[in-house]
Amino acid sequence: MSAIKKKTCLWPIAGLSCLERSFFSSPQIFAFLCVFASLRCPTAHAEDFPPELTNFAASKDNPVFVARGEGHWDVKIRERGWILFDAKAKPDQPAWRMWYTGYDGTREGTKSLGYATSKDGLTWQRNPQPIYSEHWVEDMMVVPHDGMLYMFAEGAGDQSQLLESKDGIQWRRVGALDIRKKNGDRIEPGPYGTPTGYYEAGTWYLFYERHDAGIWLATSKDMRIWRNVQDEPVISPGPEEFDLDLVALNQIFKHKGRYYASYHGSKQGSKLWASNVAVSEDLIHWTKHKGALFPKEENKSSGVFVHDGKQFRLYTMHDQVHVHFPAKD
């Protein structure tokens, strides 16, 4: 995720002339607009955001994973990492696996891929060296599919890329993601980051952000060419203060027949990010949960939901790994 100065988009009525204002002040016109808005703008219901996805308490053991500091390759860890849990893992295999970005602590320092395993998702054993450092790897996520692991990650310059692996340790870079507009033209040059993959019924879905100014959706059948579903964002910043100007999407998952997005947001000029969820019926039209999941002052972002066989855990990955369990009433 990368922030730049963003032009504020105001509600059009704020700039109307006196004549135009008088038109919109008509009770009949106002009533029509209210009905129209109710049809166009999805309304959140309690069942859309069940407590198992929105009501969490931080573990007393937090943080459960941190950078090692000076003298190590992972002086710091950064942005989204990824955690997979396999309830069917064999006794000699780790049930919990984590991939994360480590680097020397400088902005220009090359970002490398780290790896750690765990028996319980709380105590982690890391590889002493990065498992992949041939190319810049940052802000990644992993999708298991047909016996392979596919990693969607940022490369240098916030250019999204794809890697693949059979075992999660030996990775091969496939290349940069080729994203096209709806009409087939290439998207404009510039950053396109925080790539999030999702697979369903023969189609790959790719969510990505540009300068954190919105989240776009593209699809593909073969992961070679991606085409925008629409050339406007499917999720935009705001209207709440915690995600007023900047948003990035971390994860897509299905729960009780609905699609959920784990995302985080911020306000221009702030260094604080807050985590939240949104719900959709079709992966295109989204309704945000009202209010961030945690106070923005906690600065918890890059959220990843992991079902441990009994319940959802919510891990926030930047720049320490914190785990959250369902809150007890």
Instruction: Quote the DSSP letter at residue 276.
Output: E
Report helix, strand or coil for 310.
coil
Please count the CA atoms within 13 angstroms of the CA of 35 that sit on its side-chain side.
5
Domain boundary assignment for the chain: 67-301
**What is the pLDDT, as a whole number, of residue 45?**
75
In contact, 33 and 24? CB cutoff 8 Å: yes
Rounded to an integer, what distance in angstroms lies between the CA atom of residue 52 and that of residue 40? 28
In contact, 274 and 262? CB cutoff 8 Å: no
Q: pTM higher than 0.75, yes or no?
A: yes
Q: Torsion over CA of 43, 327, 318 and 132, rounded to 10 degrees?
A: -100
Report helix, strand or coil for 102.
strand
Query: Following DSSP, what letter does each residue of 106-166 receive, concatenated?
Result: STTSPPEEEEEEESSSSSEEE-SS-SB-SS--EEEEEEEETTEEEEEEE-GGGBEEEEEES
Rounded to an integer, what distance in angstroms lies between the CA atom of residue 90 and that of residue 263? 32
Rounded to an integer, what distance in angstroms lies between the CA atom of residue 145 and that of residue 167? 12
Rounded to an integer, what distance in angstroms lies between the CA atom of residue 116 and that of residue 317? 13
Rounded to an integer, what distance in angstroms lies between the CA atom of residue 314 and that of residue 306? 6
What is the CA 273 to chain-centroid distance, rounded? 12
199 strand-pairing partners: 204
**What is the pLDDT, as a whole number, of residue 137?**
98
Q: How far is CA 174 from CA 64, 152, 162, 215, in A?
A: 32, 10, 5, 23
**What is the pLDDT, as a whole number, of residue 44?**
67
**What is the pLDDT, as a whole number, of residue 91?**
86
**What is the pLDDT, as a whole number, of residue 1?**
58
Q: Which two tokens stand for residue 182?
A: 């709806």
Nearest to 86 by CA among 60, 126, 117: 117
Query: Following DSSP, what letter does each residue of 13-70 receive, concatenated?
Result: GGG--HHHHHHHTSHHHHHHHHHHHHHHS----GGGS-HHHH-EEE-TT--SB----T
Instruction: Quote the DSSP letter at residue 188.
Output: P
CATH architecture of structural domain 67-301: 5 Propeller (2.115)
Which pLDDT tens digits describe the chain residue by residue (329 residues)?
A: 544 433 333 333 333 344 343 433 444 443 443 333 333 445 567 689 999 999 999 999 999 999 999 999 999 999 999 999 999 998 888 999 999 999 999 999 999 999 999 999 999 999 999 999 999 999 999 999 999 999 999 999 999 999 999 999 999 999 999 999 999 999 999 999 999 999 999 999 999 999 999 999 999 999 999 999 999 999 999 999 999 999 999 999 999 999 999 999 999 999 999 999 999 999 999 999 999 999 999 999 999 999 999 999 999 999 999 999 999 87
**What is the pLDDT, as a whole number, of residue 85?**
98
**What is the pLDDT, as a whole number, of residue 294?**
98
Q: Which two tokens stand for residue 92?
A: 């000699």
Rounded to an integer, what distance in angstroms lies between the CA atom of residue 325 and that of residue 314? 7
